Chain A
Amino acid sequence: MPSCSPNSTLERVQPLLGTFVSVRVEADDAKAGHRAIDAAFEAIARVHALMSFHAPQSDLSRIHRAPAGMRVVVEAQTAEVLRLALAFSKWSEGSFDITIAGKLVAQGLLPAPSQSRAPDTNACWRDIELDDGHGVVLHHPLWIDLGGIAKGYAVDRAVACLQTHGIRNACVNAGGDLRLLGAGPHRVVLDTGVADLAQQPVLEVDEAAVATSSSRAFAASGISPHVHGQTQACIGMQDCVSVVANLCAHADALTKIVLASREACEPLLKQLGATAYLHDAHGQWSTLGVAA
C-alpha cells in the first residue's frame, strides 16, 4: 500500500448500477480512507442488488414475478425509493413514472423480465400500492424501472456511509450523477453531449448534488431512455438538463421532470430547494428553480 500522507486524496472506480461509479475521499489515513470507500461501494452494491431490473433475485424482479394483486414485501431501502418515486409522480402529475419500463423494453433498452406477464399498457404509477410494512401490490400487471432515481439514491447512501466513517470531503459520482461533500465552492464540469461547444459549461456549487440527463446520444436512433410518463413520448432528444439539489435522488428524478415539464416544474424545484440548468436544442441556457 502507498505510504500514508496527511490529507491524501484517494479515488477508486467500480462498475455498478450499469455504469462507472467513482468514490473520491480526502483522508488523513489511507487505510481508513480505503475502509470508508469500501463501505461506500458496499452501500451502492446493496442498492444495485435490491433494485436491479436485470437481477432475478432483486426486489424488483420479485415484484415483477408476482401476479397482480399479490402483496410482495420488499427491503426498507426499496420501499423508500418506491415511496419517493411515487411522490415525484404525484408532484409531477405523472410525467415522472417508474412504470415506463414496458416502453423501455419495447425499445430494446431493457430486457423483458422472465416469468412475468406482459404489462398492461394502460397501467401507471397509480397502480402501485405501497403500505407501511414495505408491502407492494400491483393492481395491474406492470414493470417498474428505477433507473431514473435509484442511481441518485445510491449516491446518497454512499455519502451517508462516508460521513459515518468520519469523511468530510468527498465526491461520489455514479456515471454523471454526483454528490459533493465538504465546503465549496466546487466546480462541476457539465458534459452536455455536444462536442464542439464554443464555451464550456461549469457549475459552481456548495455542498450539493448534481445530476444530468439527456437523450442526445440516442437522437440518431430515435429511441430514448427518458420517456414522458403520461404521453409516453421520448424526451431529451435535443436538450440536456443538469439539476442541483441537496439530495442526489432528488436531483436525479428532477432531471426527468424538467425534460418532460419544463417551466411547469418550477414550483416543485423551489419546494425542494433545487435549480435546473437547461441546455436546449439551440444551444441556449435557461435556469429554473431557486437560482432562477
Chain B
Amino acid sequence: MKSRLLLLPVAALVAAAPVRATVYLSIEQAQALMFPGATLTPAFITLTAEQMKAIEKDSDVNVLSPQLKVWKSSSGGWFIADQVVGKHDFIPFALALDEHGAVKDVEILEYRETYGDQVRNANWRAQFTGKTHSAPLKVGADIKNISGATLSSRHITDGVKRLLSTYALVLAQQHA
C-alpha cells in the first residue's frame, strides 16, 4: 500500500476565499430521492406556543422555530425540511416519514462545518488559496477527503427526535 505524508506549508495570507457550504441535495432533489414518483403537496404549519411547549416536553429538545416545512406525499408519508444547530452553524436536513410516522430516511442537505474548527482559522484557510511550492491543494478537488477524529451527529439525532414528537402531537392529529 503506497502512501506518503506531505506537509504543505501555509501560504502567506492572501485573499482567503470565504468558506463555501457543501450542498448535497436541494429540497426538490431530496424529495425525488425519498419519495420516487410521488407528488408532494406542501402542508406548511405554524406551530402554536402550546404545541411548541408540548413538543419540547415530549422530546426534551428545544424547538427553534414555529415554522414547519412539511409536505404530504401522494404515496403516503411525509417529507419535512428542517435544520439543527451544529457546532457553529445550521445544518439543514430532510426527514422522510412513512404513512405510519416511522423514519424512512434522513438526508443531510447542506454542510458548512466539514473542517471543524480548523476551517475557521484564517491561516489554515489561506493555504488552500495560495500557491504552494510543489503540491498545491486545489479547493474543491483536493479538500474532499478529510480524515480526522469522529464527529458526532448527536444534533441530527435530537432534531429527528423533535420532529417525531412534532409528527405525533401535531401532524398525526390534524390529518387523522
Contact = CB atoms under 8 A, between A and B. Distances in A.
Contact of B6 (A202, A213, A215, A290): A202
A186 B151 contact: no
A201 B6 contact: yes
Given A203-B3, A203-B147, A189 B10 contact: no
Given A13-B107, A18-B150, A274-B1, A191 B116 contact: yes
Interface string A81-119: 000000000000000000000000000000000000000
Given A2-B29, A193-B148, A206 B117 contact: no
B24 A190 contact: no
Nearest to B8: A200
Contact of B145 (A14, A187, A192, A274): A187
Given A12-B25, A12-B107, A200-B10, A175 B151 contact: yes
Contact of B124 (A19, A197, A291): A197
Interface in A153-211: 171, 173-178, 180, 184, 186-193, 195-206, 208, 210-211
A275 B117 CA distance: 27
Contact of B148 (A1, A192, A199, A277): A192
Contacts of A204: 3-6, 135
B146 A200 contact: no
A187 B156 contact: no
B143 interface: yes
Contact of B107 (A14, A198, A273, A291): A14
A257 B38 CA distance: 49
A24 interface: yes
A199 B32 CA distance: 43
A19 B1 contact: no
Interface size class of A (residues with CB under 8 A): 35 or more
B152 A18 contact: yes
Contacts of A214: 148-149
A291 B4 contact: yes
B83 interface: no
Interface stretch (A67-75, A129-137, A138-146, A242-250): A242-250
B25 A211 contact: no
Interface string B1-19: 1111111111000000000
Q: Is the contact region of chain B dominated by helix, strand, or loop, or is it mixed?
A: mixed
A29 B152 CA distance: 32
Nearest to B5: A277
B62 interface: no
Nearest to B128: A200
A34 B33 contact: yes
Interface in A243-292: 244-246, 273-275, 277, 285, 287, 290-291
Nearest to B120: A195
Given A191-B118, A200-B127, A291-B3, A173 B146 contact: yes
A1 B32 contact: yes
A205 B121 contact: no
Nearest to A275: B3
**Best-surrounded residue of A15, A176, A206 (most CB of chain B within 10 A):** A15
Contacts of A246: 1
Contacts of B6: 201-204
B1 A212 contact: no
9 contacts: A15-B160, A18-B150, A178-B147, A191-B115, A202-B6, A202-B135, A203-B3, A203-B147, A291-B4
Given A190-B147, A202-B6, A240-B149, 7 more contacts: A20-B156, A180-B145, A189-B115, A190-B146, A201-B7, A213-B149, A217-B149
Interface of A: 1-2, 11-16, 18-20, 24, 34, 38, 151, 171, 173-178, 180, 184, 186-193, 195-206, 208, 210-217, 240, 242, 244-246, 273-275, 277, 285, 287, 290-291
